[in-house]
Amino acid sequence: MPDYDPSAEPDEFQPPSKSELKRRMTALQDLGAQLTALSDKQLQKVPITDTRLLEAIHEAQRIGSNSARRRHMQFIGKLMRDINAEPIAAALAAMDQEQHRKAGRFQGLEKLRDELLAQGQDGIGEVVERWPDTDRQHLRNLVLQAQREQQRGQAPATARKLFRYLRELDSASVEETPSDDADGTDDAS
């Protein structure tokens, strides 16, 4: 009797293994857990067409008991087997990407504020170059006052005002110039 050769049989007729099915179900359950962590406003942005799933998500958000919550998450995973979960996963990925982008902008503004405080008036030119509509005198006053607070060991109230002013400048520039490639595609090709 010849040895069994698995490559001789076509794989396209093979059903997925039990382990593969379990991985898929666990992934759907994890996706459901991500949905239950969203606020109502965020949940409205996710394309969920199944009303039973939406009701189950809202119910899971109200459950406090760990064991009941675990069972309900399994139920949500079961409901998600009947729908196409790709649009939901794509919407969650887009929301996560947007959150990372906002966090990066926030950290960049914090870094710019710290550089301004370290450089003093020499750093103001960089801000004016980045945002031409900057009120140079107001920025200069904020920087000097924040430096004085630092030297005196006072609470950084003016440093916070400086950060808010930088954030206003940044958000105003984002509103004026919406990105042409918001969908991530390059139109130059």
pLDDT digits (tens, 9 = 90+) for 8-23: 555 567 888 889 888 9
**Residue bearing tokens 């902008």:** 105
Query: Please, are residues 72 and 56 in contact by the beta-carbon 8 Å criterion?
Result: yes
pLDDT value at residue 176: 66
pLDDT value at residue 181: 46
Residues 84 and 102 in one domain: no
Angstrom distances, CA of residue 9 to CA of 13, 36, 141, 144: 9, 43, 77, 77
CATH of the domain at 104: 1.10.60.30
Q: How confident is the model over 155-175, as a mean pLDDT?
A: 86
Task: List, for residues 76-90, the tens digit of each pLDDT value.
Answer: 988 988 888 899 899
pLDDT value at residue 2: 55
Query: Please, are residues 45 and 39 in contact by the beta-carbon 8 Å criterion?
Result: no
3-state secondary structure of 121: helix
Tell me if 27 is assigned to some domain: yes
Residues 103 and 172 in one domain: yes
Phi (first) and psi of residue 171, to 5 degrees: -70, -35
Residues 74 and 117 in one domain: no
Number of helical H runs and strand E runs in the chain: 8, 0
* Burial letters 14-41, b for 16+ CB under 10 A, else e: eeeeeeeeeeeeeebbebbeebbebeee
Residues 102 and 84 in one domain: no
Overall number of domains in the chain: 2
In the chain, % of residues over pLDDT 90? 19
Task: List, for residues 108-137, the tens digit of each pLDDT value.
Answer: 999 988 988 888 888 888 888 888 888 888
pLDDT value at residue 124: 85
Q: How confident is the model over 23-46, as a mean pLDDT?
A: 89
Residues 153 and 123 in one domain: yes
Tell me if 4 is assigned to some domain: no
Residues 102 and 164 in one domain: yes
Q: Which of 88, 121, 148 is where one domain is finished?
A: 88
Full residue range of the structural domain in which residue 163 is found: 98-176
Tell me if 159 is assigned to some domain: yes
Tell me if 36 is assigned to some domain: yes
